[in-house]
Every structure is written in structure tokens, then in C-alpha cells.
Amino acid sequence: MLRLAMTTDSETFTRIRDPLADRGIEVGHVQASERSLRVADRRDGTSVGEDVEFDVGFVYPSRLMEGAVVDTRLSVPWVNGRDAVVTSRNKAGVLAALDAAGLPTPRTVMVSNPVDEAVVADAVAGFEFPVVVKPNSATRGVGVAKATDLDSLLGIVDYLNLVHDYRATGDKSYLIQEFLPDANDYRVMVVDGAYAGAVRRELPADALEAGRWKHNVHRGAAATGVELGSAARELAERTAATLEIDYLGVDLLETGGRLVVNETNARPTVDAATKYEPDFYDRLASLIERTADGNGTTREA
């Protein structure tokens, strides 16, 4: 049986374990963070976790510093290696690549701190308020805010400036993006280059009435399986092809006759199988097996 290493033990680990076991792939957890990792002391062997052999890894660890150690010790090929995770995490880089490929995206400006207020004001010239402000490399809607006018935008930027003033902060950039009101928010799964299903993410009615607008599942939105049309499917597939990422979550926004790619995620959460295409796990298992065959060796964890 093929051994698959996962560096997360959250929802995705729980959901994919049994379906993949049914297809000859045993899933094991390797803790990559919130622990100590031996880096240069080999007296007790090369273990980064249990002394278990793995053939392939499922998505490079989210913490890149720890990931470098785990990657070296496991020495296995990954479904979505470090390059894929880094590419997808850079929201501005993704949008620039997609725009260059002719794919629709929201109007977006990246600001690289430090800049003065005049640069920020010039960046939004021509935008209509409200606008969305978001960190360039955060996930799950963390730090995303809506500015209703220039004063509120500069107030949000003040807080970002405080964070970016800390010398150890690596990413000192943020995005200013057009706000698309009343947009349908979809997370589309692409597996091995092909559409594999989608969910619509939506806040409860009372939350919407209270003025909330960020449809992140981790912030209380529900994810409902939906059937998307050919235009949305093709856009998600072209996004994955442009970024050259085999396994990708593509976030689409649809409103006012527009369909745009908002973000991507190379470490997407897997939802219930009923929300995806019937062959979702067959295709996922095939991708894992082919990734493992590309290396052809088995290493210690």
C-alpha cells in the first residue's frame, strides 16, 4: 500500500483518509509545527516524526521554515511542492499572472510599504469606494477589511504600517481591490488540471443583514455543493494551467454579469465528497500515485 504523508491533521486529513485507503493509499500524519525538530543532530536517526516510511507527501507544509526541514528529512515528492504553495500564497503575483494570461480578475493595486499617504491616495485614483484592503499573503480572510472612503482607507493602512514597521515582518505588501457587491462566492476544486467540483460559500441571512460580507467558511459561512456552468469550470481550469499547479482551490466571484478569479489556494480544504464530482477521489488517488512514481523511492519520516 502506498504511504502518503500529511502535515495537517485537520478536516482534510479526516475526510480523505478512508476514501484514499479504499484506493490503496494509507494516510499518515507528520507534525511539522508546534514541536521541536532536530536539524543537525543525527545521533538518534533521521526521524522528524514517527519512524514510518512514506512514498509521497500531500501538499508542502504551510510554514515554509519548518517545511524545509521536514522536506529534507522525508525526501519524498509532493502533490503541490514548495513552489506551488509559494506561488499561490502571493495573491498579487497570482492576479498579475492571470491578468497577463487574459483571465478576468478584480481591479487590483499592490502597495509595497513603506509609502506615504500620497502614494496610497494615488493608488486608488479611479476606484469607486468602497474598496477592499487585504494582506498579500494571509489566508482565511485574516486582515481583510472594507474601506468606505479615503479616510477610512488611510486608517486601515495605519494599522498595516504598524505591522510592517516590525523589522522581522517578511511580507510588507498589501492589496487594494475593487469591491464587488452581492457577489456569489465559489471555491472550485481543480484536480490534475480538470474541474472536480465546487461549493458556494455564503454567510447566514442574519449575518448578511448585520452587514457582514466576507464569505469565509472559517468565519461562519456555509459551503454548499453547486453545479457550475462551463464558463466557470473553464476559468478554474485555465487558472490552474496558468499557474502550473496540479491540485488547486480557485476562488471565483460572480456578480453583475462578471465572473472573476479572486484568489487561489494550493492547500485547499477538502469538503464532503457529496459536494464534488463522483470521480473526485479516483482522480485524486491517481494524481498521488503518479507523483509518487515520479520519485520512485521510499524514505524514512
Q: Decide: 56 and 247 in contact? Cβ < 8 Å.
A: no
Q: Mind listing the pLDDT tens digit for each residue in 247-264?
A: 999 999 999 899 999 999
In a domain, 147, yes or no: yes
Task: Give 178's DSSP letter.
Answer: E
My answer on whether 54 and 11 are in the same domain is yes
Range from 130-134, 138-142, 169-173 carrying the lowest mean pLDDT: 138-142
Task: Examine residue 151 and state whether it is found in any structural domain, yes or no.
Answer: yes
pLDDT of residue 167: 79
What was the pLDDT predicted at 296?
Answer: 37
- Specify whether 156 is located in the same domain as 227: no
The confidence band for 50, taking pLDDT boundaries of 50, 70 and 90, is very low
Q: 18 lies in which domain range?
A: 2-80+285-300
Indicate the pTM of the whole model: 0.90
User: Is residue 268 reached through a cis peptide bond, with omega within 30 degrees of 0 on the bond before it?
Assistant: no
In a shared domain, residues 113 and 156 = yes
Cα gap 92→264, rounded to integer Å: 11
pLDDT at position 141 is: 59
CATH of the domain at 204: 3.30.470.20
| Percent of the chain surpassing pLDDT 70 | 91
Q: Is residue 243 one of the residues assigned to a domain?
A: yes
Burial of 230 (0-12, 13-18, 19+ CB in 10 A): exposed
User: Where are the strands (E) in the chain, listed by range?
Assistant: 2-6, 25-29, 53-54, 56-58, 78-79, 108-112, 131-135, 145-147, 173-178, 184-191, 194-202, 222-226, 247-255, 258-265, 299-300
Peptide bond into 130 cis (omega under 30): yes
Q: How many CB atoms lie within 10 A of CB 116?
A: 7
Instruction: Specify the pLDDT at position 297.
Output: 36
Whether 72 is covered by a domain: the verdict is yes
CATH number at residue 66: 3.40.50
Whether residue 100 is contained in a domain is answered as: no
Which pLDDT band holds residue 44 (cuts at 50, 70, 90)?
Answer: low
Query: Is the per-residue pLDDT at 47 higher than 60?
Result: no
- Say what the pLDDT of residue 210 is: 79
Residue 114 CA, chain-centre distance (Å), reads: 26
Average pLDDT of the chain is 90
Tens of pLDDT along 162-188?
989 887 788 899 999 999 998 999 999
Write down the pLDDT at residue 299. Answer: 38
Is pLDDT at 100 greater than 60 in this prediction?
yes
Q: Tell me which residue of 301, 41, 133, 183 sits closest to 123, measured CA to CA.
A: 133
